[in-house]
Structure 1
Amino acid sequence: MARQLTGRYAAAKRIALAAMDVATDERDALIAGHVVGDDELEREVRWMLEAIERTHTATLPFAPVAAAPDLSGHQAQATAPRNYRILRVLGEGGMGMVYLAERCDEGFSQQVALKFLHAAAEGSPILHERFSQERRLLARLEHPGIARLLDGGVMDSGRPFLAMEYVQGQRIDEWCDARAMPLNERIALFLKVCDAVEFAHRNLVIHRDIKPANILVTADGTPKLLDFGIARIIEEGGQVLATATAAHALTLAYASPEQIEQQPLTTAADVYSLGVVLYQLVAGRRPYQHLVTPHLLSNAIVGGQVTAPSRSLRELPAEENQPRRRIPADIDAIVLKALRRQVSERYASVAEFAQDLRYYLARRPVKARRGRQWYRLRRFAQRNRWPLTAAGMVLLAVLAGLTASLLALVQTRAAQRLAEQRQHDLERMVDFQQSMLQSVDIDAMGHAMIRGERALVLARLGDPAGQAIDRAQLDQAFAGIAASGPARDALDTYVVSHALARLDKDFADAPLLAADMRQSLARVLLTIGSYGHAAEELRRVVQVRRRRLPAGDAALLSARIDLGEALYRGGQPDQAAQIYDSTLPAAGALPLTDPLHVAALSGRARVLAAQGQLKQALERQEALYARLAPQLPATDERVLRLRRDRVETLTQLGQRDRARAELEQLVPLYRQTFGINDPETLATTLTLATLLYSQDNEYERSLALAQDVAQIRQRRLGADHPATLQARALAASNEVRLALDPTTMAQVHERLDAIIQGYRRVLGPDNPHTLDAMNDMVRLLSKQDRYDEAIAMERAILAGRSRTLGPDHFSTLYARGSLASLLCENGQYAEASTQGEQVLAALRRQLGEDHPMTLATYDLVGRIDAGAGRWAQARDAHAKALEGRARTLGDTDAHTIESASRLYVTLLKLRDTEAARRVLDTYLQPVIAMKPDTLNAGMRSVREEALAAVGK
């Protein structure tokens, strides 16, 4: 009997596999020809085919799970966590079971959806990680269109659970079909789903499994997005990298081509899935629904040949399409754009997808069909149907008596159209010229000019008799020329100023038009760095518009904002503040997302920071960002600049942890928006690398980022461009920190010396960048025990800082502190103590007790006192440094552990074993217990210092 059943199963399997690759209308004949009247065999074959077809909409991979126990009685109650009482099963997925449960807590009762892993899945680390990921993602998503996470954790048995908002509703497609909803109402409902997905994207979360089964509509018509079980956070570069936890977890019928091909994902994957859902809502079926095997379906999706929804609807049998709906061409175009095979050809974001649907509902031209003139005219007519009809009736009524007037009107309109066309052409020409001049890289142009001039001078000075030219003297002469100066002067004098001189003559009869062109040229001056000239021209624009335009006119407001920016960049923050204050009333009357509103408020905050009012500037920046973030995409240029301003303010306030957290999000957004080669992207990346180096001792990652920026800048600007040297210098700073063996130190010494010489040639010996690079050389010389050379170079750095910045400037004090540290390491404690106390007094006065630099100087003074044998004074200084660093940075910060190690040694010298034991237990033992292979280079060094302090 068993042999007979096995043979029947094998036969049924062969027939089902053969039927998988034939068209649906040919399948019945194929099955009938194989089963030859065997009803049992035919039922087995059709059961297998039905199981295969269900894989279209099932979440992959399928994992065998144990049968769910009956959870309606005491057994179910015993498995429920905390104060939950399970009522009934709601559903089952590839990862777990979902139950309707009631939460009873101190008289409070609430129905929730309680989710557990399958019993058979509890042993899978992959599914455990996906379950934990779902909880983390839901915890950061608070939106009316997303089912909320209410509770979660682990039961006493170790089994994880999630308690989510219970959504009582229908799948979105079934909800629409049950109410026979018209097309526009379906789209309006779908737009609410788009809002929820866009909110998730703004919070850097990609859902990756959007389908009707994960969108439930409540009785009041509110759609709720469910099941973030395979969602992922957007990583650096705007992508979700493939992981073991979800490499194949997808719903095939709604998956994008890149999901099937297991490529790195972006938000475009959700755009594609939303496109499939919209296709199903408007056409009543999915794309490729006629394909019945996973193999054929996957090939079709990757191939990208999608039938338009309207054509798919027409191909349905008449009984399945009653009443027959009509799908407009606009909807076809929108859906097909969302389902493009190439990511770059789809909508750039869900917000752009939704905007096109809103344009359709408003009867405006949609982006998916942009460029078709007759189509745009037709949409205009549809939007204005009744006004145009009324106008036509009036024209017909008076046509006989107003023929002459009508002809005159036609001529007037033709003249008006011609004038409008010419105005449009003029605006395009001005915009092109402005953007062309603004895109000129002044620094690159200036360096090219200087190199050319230097080569020309060398050629002219060459002596036929073979006498050598003093190249060092020539290099020194050219080093005194600011690279951007010649290029800026040439553009300003021979291009912009020449055009400005023509305005007064050629546009004397059109002062407002002249003002428009003057403002455009002033923006070019702003871009190339001619701030004083730009401010002068913008004042003239303001005067003209103030005489001829209302006080709140947008053009007048725009000119004032540009003027404020020119004064701010030109180093006149007080005057800039007055100008910005004059813009605030008019800007406040505009919508929040209006570019002028944002520019006025963010510009005023930048000026506050320039005036030293950092806390007030930060308050304004955070308040403006909190209002803008929900209304604009994260990649909007205004939002990005505001966040960059906030990073600079946080850094100046010493809140570097917050600044770094902000930059970690900004760098991938800049790369996504502007590209990796854009100057703003490179500057933002280098700022992050600087914080990683100076704040968190993450030298390896900082080195990698700095080297990437240096390579790109060197290709574009050359090796000696100041921007290239800046990135090369930061890379060298990290290499100095990481260099351990003599060979590596010698290689780093050679590279760093080349950078210093480059700075001296290009910027001069006293330039801050030159002196910063010399600081790194001092550190390297110290690591090589070449203290006499290091001290001599540090004295030169201190002299240069004092000459250019004065004795009390922060950078001068830093140089003096470095000198004190070197003198201490070389055993010159008397001078080291004098220098250290001088620095400490100045920093306490200027920056306060809790500034990182002040606390570092307390630690320096403690080291000097310890070296001189003044253990009591060393104890007090190290204790002050440890208390401040623990309070502001935390107990496990590298700087905190550094101070703790030194205080521990000092307390042992003073035989204060009880106090030493407290320091050991609180600070040193936790870091000693860390695994070295999990730490970065900076923390490994700190751990080694802690081990040395306790004698291990």
Structure 2
Amino acid sequence: MTRQLADDIGNPGCSVTSLFANDGVAGMNPSPLDLLEPGALMGGPLMRSLAVQIERAERLPLGTRLGPFRVIGELGKGGMGIVYRAERDDGAFSQQVAIKCVQRTDDVRRETLFLRERQILAELRHPHIARLLDGGRHESGQLWFAMECIEGERIDVHAFRQQLSVRSRIELLLQVMDAVSFAHQRLLIHRDIKPANVLVDSDGSVKLLDFGIASLIDDDAREHAYSPAWASPEQVRHEEIGPPSDQYQLGRLLGAVLACSSSSTNPDSAASATLTDAGSHRPAYDPKDAQRWCDVGSKQRQRELLAILMRACAEQADARYGSVVEFAQDLQRWMDRRPVHAYKGGLRYALQCAVRRQPLTAISASLAIVVLIGTVAAFSWRLAQERDLARLAAERAEREAATATAINQFLNEDLLQRANPYQEARRDLTVREALEQASLTVDERFADQPAVAASLHWTLANSLLGVGDAARAESQIEQALALDQAAAIFDSEQRLELRIDHAAIQSEQTRFDAALSLLEDVQSEAKRVFGHDSPSDLRASFGIAQVLLNANRPEAFLNANQDLLKRLEDSPLALSAMHISSLTADADIAARLGRFERADASIARALSLSQSLPPRQQHLYLSALQVSALLSRQRGDFVQAVALQRQVSALRELRFGRQHPVTLQANNELASILQDAKQYEEAERLFREVLGVRDQSLGLGNTLTRNSLNNLGLVLSLQGKLDEAGLHYRRALEAERTLLGDDALDVLILAHNFAGLLRAQGKLDEAIAMARDTVARAERTLSADRAEPALFRVGLAHSLLKRGDRAAALEQYGFAHRRLSRVYGDDNPKVKRIEEMRAEALKTP
């Protein structure tokens, strides 16, 4: 779904829904977090305003009001201050919180920074992090902040009392690591991870306390900043602190959680002591402590787990894991009985792991090896053939080098030269025109080099597809296929890749059945030649999912993509761009269908896999963050959605420039969210900017340009600028009908929006006629799991009601209600809104 759909459910006049995003897969916003270097917040001024020694703290009497809360008891005290239990006392709703009060201050600058950084920490939303809920200044001058009140017990005590298995203990720790990794993505570190700051609630869920609080203090109060028994070496040495410090403490926490008695995990009694001598810091981790662990299995298993812990707790930060995510992945590998990276066991160790994991398979493999050894002599004659293969490989390398030279010459003399204003009469030659003209010279220039010609036709096909010219792209790829068929230019794997790209071009031309048929043939051949779940097989499956997505078949896409994701997890392409893209698309479509649990799981996995990618693949991380913005938008949290999307736009502009297609897509998405948030002026400005660039560079024949026309028309109509909106709608609708036909979904959405505009202009007969035609075509062409026909009927009902035909309007409301209930369920807000509109219509005279 690629364009805005006027949402007559939200507002009978002309409003907008977040049900449909603008340009497809969505990434993240420029929040204050991005203005901080890694760890900068941890050394910031918040706790310079908050931290105070216990001796100087002023106790508050019971009943004291702090904002909306009333103190009802004292929970405890520590190096950070006194902690009170308080309950909400403003009558809004019932809530208990933990409140920390700190020393009063008259420093206006510090209080301003306190308020700013309190907001940053309040936005740290994660299921395993106790949230900062509120804060302020008491009339006595003391600053206070309210935290989520967690009823639970320390993680090490919980593991001991419940006699948890080693797997259950590590799964608890993985929840903590997920929370810490989430914060590291936002450039926040904890600095004081220890059992006392990790509680397990009654549901068995972990909560990490005091995030960002323990490290925000002045140098003269450093003894309150960390617990010496848990501090990293760099903390004790007063060196720069970063994510590796949290990783060190997570390693120490792993050792504590694995202990088979609670007494061995309680060094917190020394938590307030001061260590001024870095040399007095205890060793990273004493391997003898592993003797006090619960049963983790064999000695080998214990050595592996100890190797993981020792790497996380290495004395030097650069000797630890690259990130908390890598630490967690190694623990997961240990639980799955796969080789762990921290244990350097070589090939023998890898074989041992394979035997442990699948003993029957290992026995079979051993028998196969015996058979293989017995037949080696019979195949020694193949050595001569290997020499021939080496000679052929050398010849192939020579041909490829010649091909590369020829292609480079073509790029310089035929393609790039056409963009030189001193060589061409036209100075405004577009990329598409340059590609078209260059493609005409390929066969003539390389008539005696079919391999070069075929490679160039293939490259030009993908380039032309990228600029929206699918027809010429198909012509180029068909020429590449013909040359390969005549001269067997490509190897088997390349030939399959070529056909997959051909299917993508067919899909772009809406020839979905042909594309699916071609990909199924490719998949069958890939399995026959390379085996099930080979890279070629998986790429064909990925192509099938993408065709289903382009064909607006979301249920079929989700089913196909779910199967693909399961296969990718255990394949050589796990963690690849294809894997992350599939997860991001899965979250995107699941969110659009209201399946937020699946969407949340997919996007969390995508963010986890993409956060450590190199800069050249940062776009995958940004795409995942953009879907996070979509999820916030779908839930109606427009403030969060706008904030996330602003960051995506800023980062893409920084890397690609203002007019690059990916920046335009990000700004288009930002404008859509601003429109949902009723910030129409900024949304209109961005829509105009995006339309101007696309209209000039891509032309009206490109879908993105027509989407921009539709989006600008909608935001103009929402502001009452109906005449100009009508011009944009009409221009887009005429082009769409010519290019796509009357029944295409994009045409139906545009016709629905246009009908709403006609209604707003008082042209009710025209509006009703167009709406009826749109509903009829949608019901005939769209599947039963689509919501659009119901939304189109709501628009028709509004027009009928405005003309005074109440009975007909009630009938349309009824049809819409039944369909949306079937698609979304009775509790969906849109379903309930239709019920309200129908009730209001019944009251209409």
Q: How would you bin the TM-score normalised by the shorter chain? A: 0.5 to 0.7
Give the Cα separation in 2 of the matches to 1:882 and 1:559: 51
Give the Cα separation in 2 of the matches to 1:784 and 1:358: 56
- The correspondence for 2:524, drawn from 573, 581, 587, is 581
Give the structure 2 partner of residue 242 of structure 1. Answer: 212
Which letter does structure 2 place at the counterpart of 1:730?
A: E
Which letter does structure 1 place at the counterpart of 2:524?
A: D
For the pair 1:681 / 2:621, whether they are aligned, the reply is yes
Give the structure 1 partner of residue 470 of structure 2. Answer: none
Q: Give the 3-state SS of the residue equivalent to 1:253 in structure 2.
A: coil
Deviations 1:759-793 (A, max 9, x none): 11100134222222222322233234332332232
Deviations 1:318-375 (A, max 9, x none): xxxxxxxxx999988972554356489535357658859999xx99996688xxxxx9
Give the structure 2 partner of residue 324 of structure 1. Answer: none
Deviations 1:208-240 (A, max 9, x none): 99879999xxxxxxxx9999786349xxxxxx9
Which letter does structure 2 place at the counterpart of 1:800?
A: A
- The correspondence for 2:777, drawn from 814, 825, 842, is 842
Aligned residues of 1:752 and 1:777 also touching (Cα < 8 A): yes
Give the structure 2 partner of residue 726 of structure 1. Answer: 665
Give the structure 2 partner of residue 393 of structure 1. Answer: none
356 and 664 in structure 1: CA distance in 2 versus 1, 3 angstrom threshold: closer
Give the structure 2 partner of residue 640 of structure 1. Answer: 580
Give the structure 2 partner of residue 346 of structure 1. Answer: 321
Aligned residues of 2:817 and 2:831 also touching (Cα < 8 A): yes
Q: Give the 3-state SS of the residue equivalent to 1:879 in structure 2.
A: helix
Query: 1:221-370 to 2 correspondence within 5 Å?
Result: 231-232=207-208, 242=212, 252-254=228-230, 269=246, 272-274=249-251, 294-297=272-275, 300=278, 307=283, 335=310, 338-339=313-314, 342=317, 345-349=320-324
TM-score after normalising by structure 2: 0.55
Aligned residues of 1:560 and 1:583 also touching (Cα < 8 A): no
Which letter does structure 2 place at the counterpart of 1:335?
A: M
Aligned residues of 2:214 and 2:226 also touching (Cα < 8 A): no
State which drifts further: 628-637 or 869-878.
628-637
Query: 1:61-76 to 2 correspondence within 5 Å?
Result: none
- The correspondence for 1:717, drawn from 656, 660, 663, is 656
Q: Give the 3-state SS of the residue equivalent to 1:678 in structure 2.
A: helix
796 and 606 in structure 1: CA distance in 2 versus 1, 3 angstrom threshold: closer
Aligned residues of 1:356 and 1:367 also touching (Cα < 8 A): no
610 and 579 in structure 1: CA distance in 2 versus 1, 3 angstrom threshold: farther
- The correspondence for 2:562, drawn from 622, 627, 649, is 622
Q: Give the 3-state SS of the residue equivalent to 1:708 in structure 2.
A: helix
Query: 1:434-453 to 2 correspondence within 5 Å?
Result: none
Q: Give the 3-state SS of the residue equivalent to 1:646 in structure 2.
A: helix
Larger radius of gyration: 1
Aligned residues of 2:519 and 2:543 also touching (Cα < 8 A): no
Give the structure 1 partner of residue 32 of structure 2. Answer: none
Aligned residues of 1:855 and 1:881 also touching (Cα < 8 A): yes
Give the structure 1 partner of residue 41 of structure 2. Answer: none
Deviation (angstroms), 1:812: 1.0
Q: Give the 3-state SS of the residue equivalent to 2:612 in structure 1.
A: helix
For the pair 1:860 / 2:795, whether they are aligned, the reply is yes
Which letter does structure 1 place at the counterpart of 2:432?
A: I
Give the Cα separation in 2 of the matches to 1:805 and 1:588: 39
Give the Cα separation in 1 of the matches to 2:635 and 2:438: 39
- The correspondence for 2:432, drawn from 474, 481, 487, is 481
Deviations 1:838-884 (A, max 9, x none): 00000111124652211111111111101111111112212332343
Give the Cα separation in 1 of the matches to 2:256 and 2:573: 25
Query: 1:10-159 to 2 correspondence within 5 Å?
Result: 125-126=96-97
Which letter does structure 1 place at the counterpart of 2:708?
A: A
Give the Cα separation in 1 of the matches to 2:327 and 2:674: 44
Give the Cα separation in 1 of the matches to 2:666 and 2:612: 22
Give the Cα separation in 2 of the matches to 1:610 and 1:347: 38
Q: Give the 3-state SS of the residue equivalent to 1:231 in structure 2.
A: strand
843 and 711 in structure 1: CA distance in 2 versus 1, 3 angstrom threshold: same
Which letter does structure 1 place at the counterpart of 2:421?
A: L
Give the structure 2 partner of residue 938 of structure 1. Answer: none
Deviation (angstroms), 1:570: 3.6
Q: Give the 3-state SS of the residue equivalent to 1:674 in structure 2.
A: coil
620 and 783 in structure 1: CA distance in 2 versus 1, 3 angstrom threshold: closer
Query: 1:428-827 to 2 correspondence within 5 Å?
Result: 456=421, 475=428, 478-479=429-430, 481=432, 501=452, 532=477, 536=481, 562=497, 565-571=500-506, 572-584=515-527, 602=542, 605-606=545-546, 615-623=555-563, 625=565, 639-647=579-587, 650=590, 654=593, 657=596, 660-662=599-601, 664-665=603-604, 668-669=607-608, 671-674=610-613, 678-689=618-629, 695-696=634-635, 698-738=637-677, 745=681, 749-827=684-762
State which drifts further: 771-780 or 606-615.
606-615
716 and 533 in structure 1: CA distance in 2 versus 1, 3 angstrom threshold: farther
RMSD: 7.0
Segments of 5+ residues of structure 1 without an aligned counterpart are: 1-59, 64-92, 96-118, 139-157, 176-188, 216-223, 234-239, 315-326, 370-374, 384-414, 462-472, 504-517, 547-555, 911-952
499 and 525 in structure 1: CA distance in 2 versus 1, 3 angstrom threshold: farther
For the pair 1:906 / 2:841, whether they are aligned, the reply is yes
Q: Give the 3-state SS of the residue equivalent to 2:611 in structure 1.
A: helix
Aligned residues of 1:728 and 1:755 also touching (Cα < 8 A): yes
Q: Give the 3-state SS of the residue equivalent to 1:754 in structure 2.
A: helix
Give the structure 1 partner of residue 819 of structure 2. Answer: 884
Aligned residues of 1:280 and 1:286 also touching (Cα < 8 A): no
Deviation (angstroms), 1:801: 0.9
- The correspondence for 1:875, drawn from 810, 813, 817, is 810
Query: 1:395-434 to 2 correspondence within 5 Å?
Result: none
Which letter does structure 1 place at the counterpart of 2:230?
A: Y
Give the Cα separation in 2 of the matches to 1:579 and 1:487: 30
TM-score after normalising by structure 1: 0.50
596 and 798 in structure 1: CA distance in 2 versus 1, 3 angstrom threshold: closer
Deviation (angstroms), 1:696: 5.0
Deviation (angstroms), 1:456: 2.2
Give the structure 1 partner of residue 60 of structure 2. Answer: none
Give the structure 1 partner of residue 91 of structure 2. Answer: none
Which letter does structure 2 place at the counterpart of 1:782?
A: S
Give the structure 1 partner of residue 375 of structure 2. Answer: none
Aligned residues of 2:234 and 2:240 also touching (Cα < 8 A): yes
379 and 819 in structure 1: CA distance in 2 versus 1, 3 angstrom threshold: closer
Deviations 1:171-214 (A, max 9, x none): 99xx9xxxxxxxxxxxxx98996576447757999999987999
Aligned residues of 1:855 and 1:884 also touching (Cα < 8 A): yes
